[in-house]
Amino acid sequence: MRRWLLCVWMFTMPDDVQFSPANAMALQAGSARERDVAIAIRGLTKTYPGGVNAVRNIDLDILQGEMLAIMGKSGSGKSTLLNLIGSLDKPEAGSVEYHGVDLRRVVNLPKFRREEIGFVFQLHYLLPHLTLLDNVALPLFGQAQARARASSALAEVGLAHREHHVPGAVSGGERQRAAIARAIVNQPRVLLADEPTGNVDSVTEEVLLKLFESLRAKHGMTLVVVTHEPTVAARADRIVHIKDGQIERIESKGNPTAA
């Protein structure tokens, strides 16, 4: 229930403060190193009330355009880490920078999040009474061309023929594809996914993986995917193994390790 409310909040949050021009400029500027590193994480730490050290002093550079998988046992801190990276949760210590912009300095975080980051969860969190088109248009808040942009996002995930269906009238795989369309409708540079194939069969998993790969190839998106599935992790450039809130090791497919 909390997750549902969080999602509705995320996709409907109005802008109440202006986006800082300094941040916008820093996003466009940036040194060569900052252009290579999409997300720089330093000393990231989160302790929940009750004393659970869910994320402990994590340092990690996520490279522009890479697919990074995060693996680890249940309770190891993967979702907490992803939520901190996505600014859905606040760390007690440490920082997350997007292309040189420290999240702590962003004035309008909901706007930044909506424009820079797409989120996909294990459950689709589509609103049941809205058509897929209206669900995907939701993050655009009635902007001009919202429906046209939602329509093209749905076409991109192969659901042009399902626009006017409600979530209950399409398959589980199609619902997850619609959730991906909603995540990319604002053309974010980063897509964060928490067990996106956790609820689907292996055929649908392959469809979703191909879709992620094509989004990456077409738009140069940076993908961070929390997964339990070795079949999903095998498609990543690097696999970060998390244990007890810390990076245990990083597997790389020949690319330089940046942790």
State in angstroms the smallest separation of the CB of 208 from Mg ion: 18
Interface stretch with Mg ion, choices 28-36, 72-80, 96-104, 201-209 (CB under 5 A)? 72-80
Residue number, 70 or 190, with CB nearest to ligand ADP = 70
- Rounded Cα distance, 236 and 225, in Å: 9
Give yes or no for a contact between 226 and 193, defined as CB atoms under 8 angstroms apart: yes
- The H or E element containing residue 120 is strand 117-120
State in angstroms the smallest separation of the CB of 160 from Mg ion: 32
Q: Beginning with the edge strand found earlier in the chain, give each strand of the sheet holding 93-98 in spatial order.
A: 53-63, 37-47, 93-98, 101-102
Residue 87: name its binding partner from Mg ion, ligand ADP, none (Cβ under 5 to 8 Å by kind): none
Q: Which of 68, 71, 80, 188 binds ligand ADP (CB under 6 A)?
A: 80
What residue type is assigned to position 62 of the chain?
I
Residues in CB range of 129: below 8 A, 6 or more apart: 166
Under the binding rule (CB under 5 A), the answer on residue 79 touching Mg ion is: yes
Residue number, 121 or 189, with CB nearest to ligand ADP = 121
Tokens linked to 133: 């088109």
DSSP bridge pairs for 41: 60, 96
Give yes or no for a contact between 126 and 175, defined as CB atoms under 8 angstroms apart: yes
State in angstroms the smallest separation of the CB of 84 from ligand ADP: 9
Distances (CA, A) of 98 to 88, 140, 155: 14, 22, 29
- Footprint (CB under 6 A) of ligand ADP, residues 39-68: 48, 50, 52, 54
Q: How do 93-98 and 37-47 pair as beta strands?
A: antiparallel
- Footprint (CB under 6 A) of ligand ADP, residues 102-121: none
Under the binding rule (CB under 6 A), the answer on residue 72 touching ligand ADP is: yes
Residue 110: name its binding partner from ligand ADP, Mg ion, none (Cβ under 5 to 8 Å by kind): none
Residue 48: name its binding partner from ligand ADP, Mg ion, none (Cβ under 5 to 8 Å by kind): ligand ADP
Residue 254: name its binding partner from ligand ADP, Mg ion, none (Cβ under 5 to 8 Å by kind): none
Kindly determine how many residues on this chain lie close enough to bind ligand ADP according to the rule CB under 6 A: 12
State in angstroms the smallest separation of the CB of 119 from ligand ADP: 14
Q: Beginning with the edge strand found earlier in the chain, give each strand of the sheet holding 238-243 in spatial order.
A: 117-120, 190-194, 222-226, 67-71, 238-243, 246-252
Under the binding rule (CB under 5 A), the answer on residue 227 touching Mg ion is: no
- Footprint (CB under 6 A) of ligand ADP, residues 195-254: none
Under the binding rule (CB under 6 A), the answer on residue 76 touching ligand ADP is: yes
State in angstroms the smallest separation of the CB of 195 from ligand ADP: 8
Dihedral class, residue 56 (left if φ above 0, else alpha if ψ from -120 to 50, else beta): beta
In the complex, the residues that contact Mg ion under the rule CB under 5 A are 79
In the complex, the residues that contact ligand ADP under the rule CB under 6 A are 48, 50, 52, 54, 72, 74-80
